[in-house]
Amino acid sequence: MVTLTIDGKKIEVVEGITVLQAAEKLGVKIPTLCYHKALKPQGACRLCVVEIVGGARRGLSASCAYVVEDGLEVKTDSERVIKARKLVIELLLLRCPEVPEIQKLAQEIGIDQKRYERFQPDQENCILCGLCVRVCEERMGVGAINFVGRGSRRKVSPPFGNISDVCVTCGACQVVCPTGAVDLAKVSKNEPRPIPAEFDEGLRPRSSIYIPFPQAVPKMPVIDRTTCMHFLNDACKACENFCEAHAIKYEQEDEIIEVEAGSVIVSTGFGLTDPTIREEYGYSHYANVVTSLEFERILSASGPYQGHIRRPSDLSEPKRIAWLQCVGSRDPSIGKGYCSSVCCMYATKEAIIAREHDPEVKPTVFCMDIRAFGKGFDQYYERAKKDYGVRYIRCQISKIVEKPKSKNLFIAYIDEMRGVVEEEFDLVVLSLGMIPSETSRSLAHALGIELNPYGFCQTGSLSPMETSRPGIYVCGAFQAPKDIPETISQASGAAAFASEIISPARGELVTTKELPPEQSIAGEEPRIGVFICHCGINIGGVVDVPAVKEYVKTLPHIAYVDENLYTCSQDTQTKIKEVIRENQLNRVVVASCSPRTHEPLFQETIREAGLNKYLFEMANIRDQCSWVHMDKKKEATEKAKKLVRMAIAKASLTEPLHEQELQINKRALVVGGGAAGMTAALGLADQGFEVVLVEKEKQLGGNLRDLYYTIHGNNIQEFMHSLIEKVHSHPLIQVILNGVIVDAGGFKGNFKTGIMSGPGMAYRKVEHGVTIIATGGEEYKPKEYLYGQDKRIMTQHELEGKIAHKDIDPKDLQEIVMIQCVGSRIPERPYCSRICCSSAIKNALKIKEINPTAHIYIIYRDIRTYGFLEDYYTKARKAGVVFIRYDLENKPEVSLEKEDLRVSVYDPSLQETIVINSDLLILSSGIIPRDNEELASLMRLQRTQENFFLEAHMKLRPVDFATEGMFLCGLAHSPQSLDESLSQAKAAVSRACTILAHDTIMVGGIVAHVEDEKCAACLTCVRVCPYNVPFINEQGVAQIDVAICQGCGSCAAECPGKAIQLQHFKDEQIITKSSALFKENVA
Amino acid sequence: MAMSLLTHSDLEKISKQGLDLLYPPKTKITVGMATCCRASGADEVVEAIRQEVKACLSDAVVTTTGCFGICQKEPLVDIVRPGWPRLVYAQMDGKRSRGVIQALAENKIIPKHILCKIEKETNLIENTVRLYPLNGLPEGIDQVPRYEEVPFFGKQQKLVLQNCGTINPDSIEEYIAVGGYRGLYKALKELEPEKIIQEVLQSGLRGRGGAGFSTGMKWRFCRQAKGEEKYVICNADEGDPGAYMDRSILEGTPHSVLEGMMIGAVAIGAQHGVIYVRAEYPLAIEKLSLAIKQARERGLLGANILGSGFDFDIVIERGSGAFVCGEETALIASIEGTTGEPRQRPPFPAQQGLWGNPTNINNVKTWATIPLIISRGAAWFSGIGTEKSKGTIIFSMVGNVQNNGLIEVPMGRTLRELVFDIGGGIPGKRKIKAVQTGGPSGGCIPESLLDLPVDYDKLASVGSIMGSGGMVVMDETACMVNVAKYFLSFTKDESCGKCTPCREGTRRMLEILMDITGGRGRPGDIELLEDMSRIIIDSALCGLGGTAPNPVLTTIRYFRDEYEEHIKNKRCPAGVCKGLFEFYVASDVCTGCGLCLKDCPSDAVTGEKKEPHRIDPHKCIQCGICREVCRFNAIKVR
């Protein structure tokens, strides 16, 4: 070790490092230009000179090249040093007046421009620091460039001023150049080959060492061996010099890990269709034709253009943007006969976001049908048209032509009113379809599971998560193209299958974490430790973290403050624990990112150090500061100080809170005995949990009773009977028929529900830990199209029953009309019922099967045969079923004249009205939820406007209710097909098991607490509580059960007597925290 | 194959052979054939002499030697004839030399061509004097001055140059005859390495390359540095404008440099020697190569030198014309085959030098001094010179001085003695203005400081440096701003460009000087120059940049009024900077000789013979030829 003094501060450092490195350790900043961590120091630019005032050789010396010596005494800011630095900057500014890096340095060091006015500045970009030369030689071992000429004629050049043919265009020179002076085209004979960033779809380049995508787990960089200069040329290894943790391991190899498992879930997701598959769209040669995923990145704030909408050819802002739907979908000619299910919605979403980014954007979507079949999707589609002016044109585009000069794109299409129209666009987005992910075929082979003709995983239509091999399950887009909610449901469902197999072994591998006893802080003054996070450059790049740190030191109660590159990293957690012990901290504040994502981690950390987890407080200086004030660094730093100050003020008043452990009742209540309810009940029972299944009818089965065959040909009745049989015979399932829920109470793990059942309406109380709502839906009974006035007019359900019961013989029928969207997608019921299109096609095909000569007309608005259902649509058209489109403004008209059942409809493509004399009129009526109002109010469950039950999160928690411990599935959730219902039921099982699998839960902590003396029993809290928690107890005061209180704070806010305080958010704490915003010293 | 030397008697044997060559029992005609001699026509002379000797003096020996120092009088031809003193014929040409040989054939001399006669010669190593036996002196020899009587020689004290211009550089025997390789013998056989270093330390020898660092200290650092292999390097990349001391030594007495390096290698423990000599010195390279070959043949280089078990060899590396390669670290980089650019010290070459090994670099003159010190002892050497600057110093004195040439004087002589006694003063009745020492890194010393004794510290005290020995004498026709501009333009061109202050700073300073000499100077320019100079000196990476502003600083220091005159009045008082002055004829001095009229390229001079002439300022292009040719200093400036 060597001891030296820098600016009066002594420091002990290892031998061999330079003065610059030693200074860095002390936090002394020395400006550099020709220095680079990965390169040998040159000491050439002389910007880093320091004054050696004690040691063998005194005077100015370049700190980057001066190796520390024992007893060395250095000054980094003496007058001599500053003078020398100024001269360097002044001279370089004369050489490169336009280079921002130099201008910045000039501003920082403050030079007197006047003195140098006598000189004529040059217009160079290169400051001759030589980094490019050195990296090429030292690191890349190429030496394609070097200095030529001497003195003021010095410049960087390949040999003899020719462009180099040894240059490998690795681009290292460009990377290290501080002034952007390297133009590879002037250096190299070879074409630069930027490595396209996969995550940004190649719209920008990435380096060879990179984090594949921002959400990578673990979030660690990887080395791309196919582009890394070290692996290609045995060169570089620069990363090694930068990584202070010495984490770079070049010798690391792929490992084969063997895992023993009871079951396997395959969720390999999807890939995108090759955009060049439709050559006529010019993706490979028109710069401004992009894929939908590329456009997704263009829209992203973390994308290639930082969220500004630009087009690739000239980075200008496109205004006229077109989306071309079904590129690689619904196209049997290229072997992609299926519908990718999600493109209509993502195109709509992209159009809306583009418009939100730039109100001048005029989005146009060219489509065949719009398939907005998901929950709430049609409403979204309507908003796109009305509120965002998204134009939907029903036309498939045959080709795109680029205008060479402007790189704009021409699209010719057929307008139903105007005929062939040619329109110019600035940017065209190809809405690419989904294909199975690249490796799925080999994986399927390895796993021995079958694939369908399109290469997706083959499953049974009534067993959508079971592959051809028992024990191997599938979920997500590998099973079929699907959107996020269905994917998430299926994922949970697959988990249910998987855990069913291994449920006997549940809990065997669990190890309980040993925690130190919680230390008492009673009577202690607050000793607050503050950890401020750089979050890489997320915070540190904007907020002056060291300044915040210095500021925090001036605040009261601060016992420790430090800054970290990543406070959430494992080593920092270890450090925090040590610091807590060493400094006897009794409060901890972390100023970093969002408590939503990281508070639990830090709470756990301080708990591991023996502190109550509620003694933790967090300031969000990233999402709420550095990210939103990126361009105002100074102000952001000030704001960060205030945010931290507030957190510290609050922390000084925080108290330990204690949670209670409650036993969990391991019984489940399933409400509804249809397909979903029965499946859920069986699922839970098969995992070993008791189930009470309540059905309000006298028998199980629900809608299945009226269904006979699926579009794939499965026998529904058989399926139903087998299901009912299993339910009835399962020892853990208790079925209550004719059951009605009459009261409900309790909370997650400990519900109490009152049920009246049987002919005598006997009352019984069921205690259960979870509830699954599967109350289902039913077919809408139409009021439209003369329904009920003629027996030839019926619904699809009715038709199916009549065919099954042979009440109707299709052989007798010649003309059959089906009208779609009856009672759906209308202002009173704006949602799409999702299954009616496939029901109509199912029945049409059934009729055609029996009577191929029958004429079937399906009058539709959009055919929504998503996924593989599209094959049946194709089949129907091939079978001669006629599809006639109608608009809401021109609904078909039905009249009964004498015996004639006449349907007339305006066909927009023929632009004339067609009149059909029909033998049968089938109304494809939508699905409405069953009457669930009472249940919703008893159990305090939220519903959509259409009275379907509302899940906790449309995308990410599709089968959870907002109320913990309650789940939903089946038609009670939204219109869906049988197999989708079954998936959801399994998903609900899986979610319910996350609670039932535990023996106890922790409750309390952040809950409301009543001070009895102040309570006037005014009932305000009882009324405002959204969870029905407070009640007036025997003492005549409000009581709040800590186990059910969700800590929302509504009662505390409303209580007129201030009798209620929400723990951890007490009035005093909140007032102190907000006062800290305005005053510096409140704590 | 020549025999390998092993013992002292072996050396004595060779020495005897050498003496026979040096002083043969018959007539020996020696022609100075160094580069300077050749430049003034020595090739023609030696050819003529050979022919003439063949024709009329067949028993005479014709041989060659190096530079004798008085380059102004070259070509020189020495005649050594038994019974005569050594005669030095000067300013020979083909015709004259034929005459000399013809006269010699008749036992005659031509006194008017003889510069001096040498009656005794000193063997410094053995501390003996050899007298020329005199009998049968030729007629007219009395008119010939003795060597000691010629002021140019008389005031000098030749140590390093003692044998230069006397012995034949191609003959190792002659070098051994004058005491050569005795120092090496002593170093290998009689002294411990530490004792050698002790001797060098005590001698007070300071590096003759310019910086003047203690040679002994430098050796000690290198000896103490850890490293299995070590190097000694001779820096022969002489690059100062007007300096050629090193070249003359290499051409005149190459073995003294080799011997010095060998002794250094013994002391330091080096196995490898490199002579880095600029490629523009082909003759020096030739002489060195031959010397190395001879030394190897005699077992003085290679394995087991003098039977001592010590191995050492020397190779020659040619530098290709970058001034900065005279800087140690740049020189090493150049040898290593990379761009000859300096790097920051520390680490010093003694710690990390050639190929990363401990390396000691000394200048040619330093190495050539070593054999003397080891042979004669530190006490003898430190008896010469001043308190802190020991020994002699070699200058190549050029410029506006009568006797241009190579001189060696003990430290402590005044500049005035050098310029006026040895140099013979200023030609053409003009006044001396300044003496520039130290080359482009040095400074200009004004006339008022001419009585300054010359040593390292005294020169530094007035803002100049000793440098490697360049000395330029300037008379009143020198514009000091222009002088500064000249030197700065040299350093600006020779700056490698690696570090910012030197590359960009010298260039910008030169721009200011160009402005001043072009009449575009601005108020504040002097201060700006001073300021930039100081910071560049302080912050540049190597010695080149760190001294480049010296000429500017010293000229401002001593001739500030000249700068001000240029800036304020747009006038060049010395009459050099075009457009800033006017030539006129001082009618009271002009004799009307007509020389200026004859040589004026623009017909600006008019006047009758023997009448004062006139210069028409409108026609005058200010070339200065009139002033140059005027023997009466009648052309004045206003």
SS (H, E, C) A297-357: HHHCCCCCCCCCCCCCCCCCCCCEEEEEEEECCCEHHHCECCCCCCHHHHHHHHHHHHHHH
- Tokens encoding B264: 């250094």
Residue given tokens 């030079």 in the structure block? A111
* Sequence-separated (6 or more) residues with CB below 8 Å from residue B292: B258, B301, B314, B316
Check pLDDT > 90 for residue A213: no
- Nearest Cα to A52, choosing from A73, A82, A67? A73
Give pLDDT, residue A1081: 63
- Interchain contact A154–B (C-beta under 8 A): yes
Q: Write out residues 527-556 of B within 8 Å (CB-CB) of A.
A: 528, 532, 535-536, 538-541
How far is residue B215's CA from residue B261's CA, in Å, rounded to a whole number? 12
Strands A815-822 and A855-860: parallel
Least confident of A148-152, B35-39, B353-357: A148-152
DSSP string covering B146-199:
BGGGSHHHHT---STTTTTTTS-TT-HHHHHHTTTTHHHHHHHHT--HHHHHHH
Phi, psi of A515 (to 5 degrees): -115, 145
Q: Which phi-psi region, left, alpha or beta, contains residue A688 (left: φ > 0; alpha: ψ -120 to 50)?
A: left
Buried b or exposed e, range B546-583, using 16+ CB within 10 angstroms: bbbbbbbbbbbebbeebbbbbbeebbbbbbbbeebbeb
State whether residue A794 is helix, strand or coil: strand
Higher pLDDT, B449 or B339: B449
Helices (H), A997-1061: 1020-1024, 1050-1054
Give pLDDT, residue B3: 66
In angstroms, the separation between the Cα of residue B507 and the nearest Cα of chain A is 7
Q: Is the dihedral of CA B549, B553, B559, B563 positive or negative?
A: positive
pLDDT, tens digit (0-9, with 9 covering 90-100), for A835-853: 999 999 999 999 999 999 9
Give pLDDT, residue A570: 85
Q: Are A883 and A911 in contact (CB under 8 A)?
A: no
In angstroms, the separation between the Cα of residue B36 and the nearest Cα of chain A is 29
Phi, psi of B55 (to 5 degrees): -75, -45
- A761-786 average pLDDT score: 95
User: How many CB atoms neighbour CB B460 within 10 A?
Assistant: 14
- Nearest Cα to A863, choosing from A367, A344, A369? A369
In angstroms, the separation between the Cα of residue A100 and the nearest Cα of chain B is 18
Give pLDDT, residue A538: 83
Q: Do B528 and A43 touch (CB under 8 A)?
A: no
Estimate to the nearest angstrom the gap between the alpha carbon of A928 and the chain centroid.
Answer: 31
Check pLDDT > 90 for residue A1046: no
Higher pLDDT, A417 or A608: A608
- Tokens encoding A739: 């059951």
State whether residue B362 is helix, strand or coil: strand
Give pLDDT, residue A218: 82
How far is residue A445's CA from residue A447's CA, in Å, rounded to a whole number? 5
How far is residue B615's CA from residue B611's CA, in Å, rounded to a whole number? 13
Estimate to the nearest angstrom the gap between the alpha carbon of B294 and the chain centroid.
Answer: 26
Q: Do B493 and A46 touch (CB under 8 A)?
A: no
Q: Looking at beta carbons, which residues of chain A come within 8 Å of B492?
A: 151-152
- A65-85 average pLDDT score: 94
How far is residue B211's CA from residue A1042's CA, in Å, rounded to a whole number? 87
Q: Do B496 and A95 touch (CB under 8 A)?
A: no
How far is residue A729's CA from residue A711's CA, in Å, rounded to a whole number? 30
Give pLDDT, residue A747: 85
User: How many CB atoms neighbour CB A134 within 10 A?
Assistant: 25
Q: Do A87 and B494 touch (CB under 8 A)?
A: no
- Interchain contact A65–B (C-beta under 8 A): yes
- Tokens encoding A17: 């490092």
How far is residue B203's CA from residue B217's CA, in Å, rounded to a whole number? 11
Give pLDDT, residue A754: 96
pLDDT band for position A898 (cuts 50, 70, 90): confident
- Interchain contact B498–A (C-beta under 8 A): yes
Residue given tokens 């098991």 in the structure block? A993
Q: Do A45 and B497 touch (CB under 8 A)?
A: no
Q: Looking at beta carbons, which residues of chain B come within 8 Å of A43?
A: 343-344, 499, 541
Check pLDDT > 80 for residue A245: no
Q: Are A23 and A6 in contact (CB under 8 A)?
A: yes
Check pLDDT > 60 for residue B1: no
Of A46, A115, A146, the CB nearest to B500: A46
Residue given tokens 């040096």 in the structure block? B22
The radius of gyration computed from the CA coordinates of chain A, to the nearest angstrom, equals 35
How far is residue A330's CA from residue A337's CA, in Å, rounded to a whole number? 5
How far is residue B154's CA from residue B390's CA, in Å, rounded to a whole number? 20
In angstroms, the separation between the Cα of residue A141 and the nearest Cα of chain B is 14
* Sequence-separated (6 or more) residues with CB below 8 Å from residue A946: A829, A830, A831, A928, A929
Of B496, B525, B532, the CB nearest to A151: B496
- Interchain contact A133–B (C-beta under 8 A): no
Check pLDDT > 90 for residue A193: no
Name the β-bridge partners of B62.
B29
Would you call the peptide bond into B617 cis, given omega within 30 degrees of 0 as the criterion? no
- A866-870 average pLDDT score: 96
Kindly provide the ipTM of the predicted complex, given to two decimals. Answer: 0.90
pLDDT, tens digit (0-9, with 9 covering 90-100), for A499-554: 999 888 888 888 888 999 999 999 899 999 999 999 877 898 899 999 999 999 99
Task: Give CA separation, A674 vs A657, A737, A979, in Å.
Answer: 45, 12, 13
Helices (H), A617-688: 633-651, 675-686
Q: Looking at beta carbons, which residues of chain B come within 8 Å of A151?
A: 492-497, 502-503, 506-507
- Interchain contact B506–A (C-beta under 8 A): yes
Strands B614-615 and A155-157: unpaired
How far is residue B211's CA from residue B206's CA, in Å, rounded to a whole number? 8
- Interchain contact A128–B (C-beta under 8 A): yes
pLDDT band for position A760 (cuts 50, 70, 90): confident
pLDDT band for position B508 (cuts 50, 70, 90): very high
Name the β-bridge partners of A446.
none
Q: What is the mean pLDDT of chain B?
A: 93
Q: Do B505 and A67 touch (CB under 8 A)?
A: no
- A440-459 average pLDDT score: 96
- B2-11 average pLDDT score: 78
Task: Give CA separation, A260 vs A263, A494, A500, A990, B314, in Å.
Answer: 9, 18, 17, 22, 72
Q: Do B497 and A67 touch (CB under 8 A)?
A: no
Give pLDDT, residue A192: 82
* Sequence-separated (6 or more) residues with CB below 8 Å from residue B293: none
Of A43, A61, A128, the CB nearest to B497: A128
- A171-185 average pLDDT score: 91
Q: Looking at beta carbons, which residues of chain A come within 8 Å of B539?
A: 46, 49, 60, 84, 87-88
The terminus-to-terminus CA distance of chain A in angstroms comes to: 43
Give pLDDT, residue A1082: 59
Helices (H), B402-495: 415-416, 456-461, 480-494
Count CB pairs under 8 A between chains A and B: 107
pLDDT, tens digit (0-9, with 9 covering 90-100), for B100-119: 999 999 999 999 999 999 99
Q: Are A832 and A380 in contact (CB under 8 A)?
A: no
Helices (H), B404-470: 415-416, 456-461
Q: Do A128 and B506 touch (CB under 8 A)?
A: no
How far is residue A1027's CA from residue A1049's CA, in Å, rounded to a whole number? 11
Q: Do A147 and B492 touch (CB under 8 A)?
A: no
Q: Do B528 and A118 touch (CB under 8 A)?
A: yes
In angstroms, the separation between the Cα of residue B339 and the nearest Cα of chain A is 9
The rounded percent of chain A whose pLDDT value lies above 70 is 100
- A561-576 average pLDDT score: 90
- Interchain contact B594–A (C-beta under 8 A): no
Q: Do A84 and B538 touch (CB under 8 A)?
A: yes
Task: Give CA separation, A320 vs A323, A349, A424, A427, in Å.
Answer: 10, 16, 8, 7
Q: In one letter, which amino acid is B357? A: N
The rounded percent of chain B whose pLDDT value lies above 90 is 85
Q: Write out residues 315-374 of B within 8 Å (CB-CB) of A.
A: 322, 339, 343-347
- Tokens encoding B257: 């440099």
Q: In one letter, which amino acid is A184? A: L
Q: What is the mean pLDDT of chain A?
A: 93
Give pLDDT, residue A170: 87
Give pLDDT, residue A243: 83
- Interchain contact A215–B (C-beta under 8 A): no
